[in-house]
Amino acid sequence: MAEDLSYIYKVIKKVLNVFLIIVGIYIGLKLAVFYMPFIIAFIIALIIEPAIRYLMKKTNLTRKMSSIIIFLLAFSIIIGSITWGIVTLISESTNLLQTLNIYIDKAYTQIQNTMGKFNITKISISSNISNFMQDASSEILFKVSGWLTEFLTNLITVITSIPTIAIYTVITILSLYFICTDRIYMLDFMEYHMPSKWVQKIAIHIKEITKNLGGYLKAEATLIFVSFAISVVGLYILKFFRMNVTYPLLMALAIAFVDALPILGSGTVMVPWAIMSALNGDIRLGVAITVLWIIMSIARQFLTPKIVSGKIGIHPIFTLIAMYTGFKVIGVMGMLVGPIVLIILKSIFGNRLEEGISNSFR
């Protein structure tokens, strides 16, 4: 009887721990969104930290002076990129909103024409099924149109909120400066004011999470940036040669977003785009998009072994479940957040998973 009560107590305790950790991750994600400027500054600081150390090593300058030099370079790049991005996104998003219905009508007409090319009587498809397929395609296009309209409207609202963007940018830049110049002081301050037991436990989990999640995010961010850079340069080149690429920056962002999703990739956007262009009679654009996709795929395959040091040890089916769960809970962004939460949970409960969940209760 005592053994049964002890076993039940252990189960309840561990289930409660799991619940509290999940709640903690949820609160952490909410706080991360709330304090996004500081998170962005921290990520940029991690990216430019090797440059600061390299400059210190080569010039024998102090950390503060090296940080200021690298910070000024990063500041120039950030301000230039934000200015160009805002102007281009406002222009492209406004134009796309004005012509979105035209593109939807063209897509529906193309679907109708494609279906009309098949001899329905020879493949024994009833008129009811044909009508159902047409109605389904019409409904899908209607929903896609609604999603795009809502997304573009929200995007324009966000990027035209100049005071808000200005405040976010200023806070991010100031945070980046302080993190770069006073990094060691900040770490010592946090360690001094936290209980030693907390520091040890947190250090163990942070080390494990940094190893798995940090390495994964760094590798994925690098690969996504490479994909975005190749796609945006390639699409602007195609536009320069007067191909029908009307919104290069928006399309590059869409490709980068899909490329960021585990399991999926840039081909999810580019292959259908190339096929639709070819079906519309623009063979030249279809071939060009296909070639650009092949270049991106080769670059990714070449860089992946060099950047990704090891696998995260999660089967694709669990990653897919995490993406779906995130999508159902918080929407499209959940497809990005879901796998991240899964990696965090695996980092925390990795030892228990290796020995078996049921065995860990003994």
The pair of structure tokens assigned to 101 is: 């219905």
Task: Note whether 145 and 101 are within 8 A (CB).
Answer: yes
pTM: 0.65
Task: Note whether 295 and 230 are within 8 A (CB).
Answer: yes
Type of residue found at 35? Y
The pair of structure tokens assigned to 305 is: 């072994």
Angle between helix 267-279 and helix 283-307 axes, rounded to 10 deg: 170
Q: Is 273 exposed, middle or buried (0-12, 13-18, 19+ CB in 10 A)?
A: buried
DSSP single-letter state for residue 35: T
Average pLDDT for the chain: 75
- pLDDT of residue 13 exceeding 80, the answer is no
Among the ranges given (93-102, 123-132, 323-332, 353-362), the one the predictor scored with the smallest mean pLDDT: 353-362
- The tokens 């809970």 sit on which residue? 329
d(CA 232, CA 76): 20
Task: Note whether 327 and 312 are within 8 A (CB).
Answer: no
- Quickly state the pLDDT bin for 289 (edges 50, 70, 90): very high
The pair of structure tokens assigned to 360 is: 């860990």
Instruction: Give percent of the chain with pLDDT exceeding 90.
Output: 3
